[in-house]
Homo-oligomer: A and B are copies of this chain.
Amino acid sequence: MEPRILLAHGGGGGASHRLIQEVFYRYLGNDILLQGNDAAVFDVVPGKLAMTTDCFVVQPIFFRGGDIGKLAVCGTVNDLAVSGARPLYLSLGLIIEEGLPVELLEKVVASIAAACLEAGVKIVTGDTKVVEKGKADQLFINTTGLGIIPESVRVGGEMARPGDLVLINGNIGEHGLAVMSERAGINWETPILSDCAALHGLIAEAMEAGAVHCLRDPTRGGLATTLNEISRQSHVGIILEENAIPVSGAVRGASEMLGFDPLYLANEGKVVVIAPPASAKAILERMRRHPLGKDSAIIGEAVAEHPGLVALKTAFGGERLLDMLEGEMLPRIC
């Protein structure tokens, strides 16, 4: 292989074929991907399918706790998992800037392979385009995922009911701050790592433990934006207890110093679970036994009042409205 990516690697000819064989097939090869036709072909059992797509433009492409490849797998796996689906297959589309060291690309592809193994999914089809130097920013990735939803499962952002409790599986704000700190070259005394992780296992356990109404991963826009979406879709109000929301000391300190609100910072390994009170306790206990849910907490409840709005009961006993994120706080964190 050439040491750097050339336009020819996206040309569909000999160089493209070598890149496919020596990088993509080597790390990601599986029975379906290796069919080598224009589309991957596979059997599915009858039932409901979930399909989701995500583009990844994070910069820098490597950061504490993850990289663009791991993110591209976990992000799409999580979007399937919060739809109640068992993630199965991913497609992988890459847009590469000419001149990218092939070594860097290989590191990303190896990370994709490791994340797929962990999440139990396969890359079944892919595409690579190369654009001239200066026309992209190292590497952009699209993953599109397919999963199967068991007949018994029904979750959705429109299913929250007054009285339901709101749970989260741990500390918020880590991914956004980790990427932002990497980009700005800030080294915190206590390093802040991205929480980037595939949540399908944790979510499966939560759903086994009791009835769940909504699942959603609070990525771009953070916890506040995600809960606003759900409150609008379900026509309920949501009240959060500030004291109950898990935030690490490092994130709290860094946020204060930089003027960020952790409620609006992106997460890549968090899930909001909304469940009726009868099942919330059992779900909480089960989540806490999972490695990705040790710091799970009940952080609020859905109410009939102020439908479509999210309120925060502050540590000082006050209450303030939490709107959706408006504008862009931290660009390119995923």
Residues of A in contact with B (beta carbons under 8 Å apart): 6-8, 10-17, 35-57, 78-80, 82-83, 85, 89, 91-95, 124-132, 134-137, 140, 142, 144-147, 149, 156-157, 216-217, 219-221, 225, 233, 266, 323-329, 331-332, 334
Contact = CB atoms under 8 A, between A and B. Distances in A.
Contact of A50 (B6, B40, B50, B95): B40
Nearest to A54: B127
Given A47-B43, A91-B52, A326 B221 contact: no
A48 to B, nearest CB: 6
Contact of A95 (B55, B125, B328): B55
A40 B131 CA distance: 31
Contacts of A332: 129, 131-132
B80 A142 contact: no
Given A44-B46, A142-B55, A328 B137 contact: no
A127 B329 CA distance: 18
Contacts of A225: 12-13
| Copies in the assembly, this chain | 2
A36 B79 CA distance: 12
A323 B57 CA distance: 36
13 contacts: A8-B328, A11-B221, A13-B225, A38-B52, A38-B83, A41-B85, A44-B47, A55-B128, A93-B93, A127-B142, A129-B334, A142-B144, A144-B144
Given A11-B221, A221-B11, A329-B11, A49 B41 contact: yes
Contacts of A156: 35, 37
A55 B94 CA distance: 7
A39 B50 contact: yes
Contacts of A134: 134
Nearest to A13: B325
A126 B43 CA distance: 24
Question: Which of A17, A47, A216 lies at the interface centre, i.e. has the most chain B CB atoms within 10 A of its CB?
Answer: A17
Contacts of A326: 8, 13-15
A8 B331 CA distance: 8
Nearest to A323: B14
Question: Which of A129, A145, A146, A233 lies at the interface centre, i.e. has the most chain B CB atoms within 10 A of its CB?
Answer: A129
A12 B221 contact: yes
A97 B327 CA distance: 16
A150 B288 CA distance: 46
Contacts of A89: 51
A121 B304 CA distance: 39
A185 B82 CA distance: 49
A44 B44 contact: yes
B144 A93 contact: yes
Contact of A328 (B11, B126, B136, B331): B11
A44 B88 CA distance: 15
Contacts of A91: 51-53, 144
Question: Which of A39, A128, A331 lies at the interface centre, i.e. has the most chain B CB atoms within 10 A of its CB?
Answer: A39
Pairs of residues from A and B, 3 with the lowest C-beta to C-beta distance, nearest first:
A12-B220, A13-B325, A53-B91
